[in-house]
Structure 1
Amino acid sequence: MLQQRQDVINHLAETPFWSLIKFYMDDEIVATDRKKKSGMDLIKIIQCYDSKQQKFKFGDHEPKAITSEDVVEIFGLNNQGVELPNTDKSTKNMKDSFVKAYFAKQKIGKKNDIVEAYQKLVQDKTPEGAKATASIICVHLLQSLLFATFGTYIAWSFITICGALDQISKYNWAKGVTDYLFKRINKSKKKRKNGEESATINGCIALILYWICLHTNLLETISGRENMIPAIGRWDITKIHKAIRDIRVEEIEISGRIPCVEPNESIGRGIPCSEEPTEEHSNINQEECNDIPYPEQNNESSKKKENKTTGRKRKRTEVRVEEDQSITITEA
């Protein structure tokens, strides 16, 4: 339906998220097999994060940081402008016209509220309706991908920012995404250090996986997509999770090379260059979501790319990956 709303698309094209939104609208994501998924691949990487340096240290290699420039390339976001306001806690502002119009009764802005607002707004063919629809789609993108949280809620500050669509480009979104992710990882590590049984990691945790792919030869890019922006389209998302799972963290060297091994060598020393994902080994499992007409990071549609399939819901284990992207680490 969104493809038929050129008025909405015109508004979205003026936002810093357009290249990312269009990527999803065009169904460019590739996932050849989604029979399983696990948080273990992400967890072992996050455990290499040094909170003091805000860098990842893999084995004896030099610590490396995810930069705003990386986010620009991976998600196509802007890297200039003012810093985002408080993204942890924010108060609902009933004086804001957008909040008042579409979230008046909600105490917390949650995914279901966003979807409900979209379903109503997309039927509104007025200029005001088109602009508000674009705002809701931006809210959804932040909640489901760039600033994902446990419980699928979103801070009121983000809703207010997206409601003022004409002002949305003044913020530095690339820096905002990295700052928020680091802040949430630091908070989770602190909780675990203080003895809490479980600690949830929010934020755009998939950024970490794409960052590794961007700066290593862990995974070959899809032919013809070597320079695609956003760079998330360069790799088969299924193979990313499998490759991270099968490599030892000590072998990861950012801006270096990870040794490819022959398919008959034991897994653990490297990634076979020609190995294809199978149902047995695939670590990604995503549900189809048609609520808003572009897929969430953990809810991609599967219409036209290389035998894509949908999967089943994650089972809770010692490492639990919550709805959207948040990860919960539970002590055994």
Structure 2
Amino acid sequence: MPHEEVSKGIIEADTISNLPKKLKTKKLAGRKPIEITSSSVPKASHERHAQSQYNLRVRSPKNQGINIEQAAPQSQPLRKRPRIVVETQETQATEESQHIAFNRCNMQAMIRLMNGFPVTPALKDSLKKTPFWHLINAFIEEKVKSDHCRKFDEVVVKIVESYDANTRTFRLGNKHVKLEREYVKLIFGISCENEEINQSYCKKENVQLAVKWKIKGKRLDTSIIKKLLKEKQNSKLEEDMDDIARLLCLFLCRTLFFSTSGTTINWVYVRYMKDLNKIKQFDWAGAICKYLLKSTHVEHKDPKEVKGSSILLLYWLCEHSNIPNQESPDSIPRLLKWNIAKLRKALKDVKQLQQLPDEKVKDGTLEQTIEEKVDSEFEQHEVQQDAGEKDEVNQHEVKNDEFVELVEAQFEVQQDKGEKVEVAEVENVSDSYESQPVSFRRDEVTSPKYNSDSTLEPNTLNGKSLPQEEDECLKKLVDNILDDSKKYAPAMVDELTEERHSISDNLTIKIEYLEKHMEIEKQSNKDALAMIDELRKEKDSITNDMSTKIERLENEKK
């Protein structure tokens, strides 16, 4: 059997290991002898079977297999892979090797997830409730470019190695620079308040969303998040839109904010996603900064073990240095301003960041630009306006519901007595509620049951059809509102008149005050002019006296 396989030019790894020593150097049909090393072959390689001409390519420098292109007969044509495919596979292999060595913090995962993801206006409304809306919207609008945000771990290592544990700062040249929560907010575009997030361990049993989403595993990983997103992405329900917003935020937490070398996320962050209306109250920027700095402080001598948003360090270095140039200076969030691939090239010959010249390091702290201030103020105004409108709607709905309940109770009492229901009774109920407008719905009002002793027909009120009664009731309510407005109109007119008179009086007083000041100034100006005239006259008089005396003395001298 070994002789037949040698003549075909195909040798499997397990066959090679079982060949006799004599055959290991035997010439094969006029070809050069095949050099075979005695290095151990992994168990997985023994189980792998050659299914195509690519299965036996050399997989390591130790020649743990035989290259099929060398062992194949000359008559067999060799199919070459396209150059693009080769480069893509090499790039993916580089990324995978980096992820094995370092934590999995990256932005490529979110780019791939949002590519083709259906985003409806309802989903955008849900996402705007979260602190990460600006960042997620940048992914939705494809502003985050894959080749601009690729993380390079050699740059991360240089930044982590520049950490000074004594001062808890980073050494850039001769300067000590801090990483603070405000920088996280500006770089990632996070809008949040200051309530602290407790990042201690949390059990799955204490998380309501885990029960709601029917998560069976002990941990929440990215595969489960993607599965849930796929199930809900075509839904039109408001609750499902909120769930998608929660899941996208959790995906960012796992891949970007609180990354580790694994694929799971702590349940504590899931717990904070429960109420989207309160999620902005918590200090997410502070939690991201604290998580990264705590790990850096412990592992700065072994950068591969650092957890958290390591890619944040690259953008932070761009903001605090003049090394790369900005791609788009006015972008929000700030990570869109930079191409961190250029940062890698610029630092290629710099072994330590302490070697940076002082002119390459910026002084001072990061401050909001005009665009960021305007955006922040507009967002706060929007939130306050939405909250006010929501409170007003809720209050209005409560009053409407109370009114409908009272009307229903009134109808039930009357139908139990077998009496007629007068429209006037409905009017009295409306008066007790300050003439608030009510949305009268037919299904909300229980019509009296038919009673043979009653004068009412089935489905009627006061002998009239139900729609007619509704119209009359609404007309009465409108009349009441108009009467109230007429009643209070004179008082409002009087109040406005008094206010106008008050303003007029104040203006009159101010005008008189200004006129007095002007008169005083004029008088002072007149007095000053008179004094100047007197001084001039006195000067002329003294000059004349002096000239007279001089002439008299000269005459006496002669």
The TM-score normalised by the length of structure 2 is: 0.41
Match of 1:235 among 338, 342, 354: 338
Q: Distance in 2 between matches of 1:160 and 1:26?
A: 29
Q: Distance in 1 between matches of 2:242 and 2:254?
A: 19
Map 1:35-184 onto structure 2 (within 5 A).
Answer: 38-59=152-173, 61-78=174-191, 80-86=193-199, 89-92=201-204, 94-102=205-213, 104-184=215-295
Query: Letter of the aligned partner of 2:323 in structure 1?
Result: L
Map 1:250-329 onto structure 2 (within 5 A).
Answer: 250-252=354-356, 256-257=359-360
Q: Distance in 2 between matches of 1:79 and 1:6?
A: 22
Query: Letter of the aligned partner of 1:169 in structure 2?
Result: K
Change (3 A) 1:161 1:32: closer
Change (3 A) 1:118 1:52: farther
Q: Distance in 2 between matches of 1:66 and 1:33?
A: 22
> SS at the partner of 1:56?
strand
In the TM superposition, residue 148 of structure 1 has moved relative to its aligned partner by: 1.1
Query: Letter of the aligned partner of 2:277 in structure 1?
Result: D
Using CA pairs below 8 Å that are at least 6 residues apart, which structure has the higher relative contact order?
Answer: 1
> SS at the partner of 2:190?
coil
Query: Letter of the aligned partner of 1:250 in structure 2?
Result: Q
Could you tell me whether the CA contact under 8 Å between 1:56 and 1:64 is conserved in 2? yes
Structure 2, gaps ≥5 residues long: 1-115, 363-558
Structure 1, gaps ≥5 residues long: 193-197, 260-332
Deviations 1:54-97 (A, max 9, x none): 210134x121101112112111113532111125x3221x3543
Q: Distance in 2 between matches of 1:6 and 1:246?
A: 48
Could you tell me whether the CA contact under 8 Å between 1:19 and 1:230 is conserved in 2? yes
Number of residue equivalences: 246
Q: Distance in 1 between matches of 2:189 and 2:151?
A: 26
Could you tell me whether the CA contact under 8 Å between 2:207 and 2:270 is conserved in 1? no
Structure number with larger C-alpha Rg = 2
Query: Letter of the aligned partner of 2:281 in structure 1?
Result: K
Query: Letter of the aligned partner of 1:128 in structure 2?
Result: E
For 1:215, the equivalent position in structure 2 comes to 320
RMSD, aligned α-carbons: 2.6
Q: Distance in 1 between matches of 2:298 and 2:349?
A: 28
Deviations 1:102-153 (A, max 9, x none): 2531211111111112111213321111111111011111111111122021
The structure with more helix, counted as a fraction of residues = 2
Query: Letter of the aligned partner of 1:28 in structure 2?
Result: K
Could you tell me whether the CA contact under 8 Å between 2:118 and 2:233 is conserved in 1? no
Change (3 A) 1:205 1:95: closer
Match of 1:201 among 296, 299, 306: 306
Query: Letter of the aligned partner of 1:159 in structure 2?
Result: V
Deviations 1:269-309 (A, max 9, x none): xxxxxxxxxxxxxxxxxxxxxxxxxxxxxxxxxxxxxxxxx
Q: Distance in 2 between matches of 1:158 and 1:117?
A: 17
Query: Letter of the aligned partner of 2:144 in structure 1?
Result: I
Q: Distance in 1 between matches of 2:199 and 2:232?
A: 28
Q: Distance in 1 between matches of 2:248 and 2:357?
A: 37
Query: Letter of the aligned partner of 1:51 in structure 2?
Result: A
Q: Distance in 2 between matches of 1:253 and 1:204?
A: 27
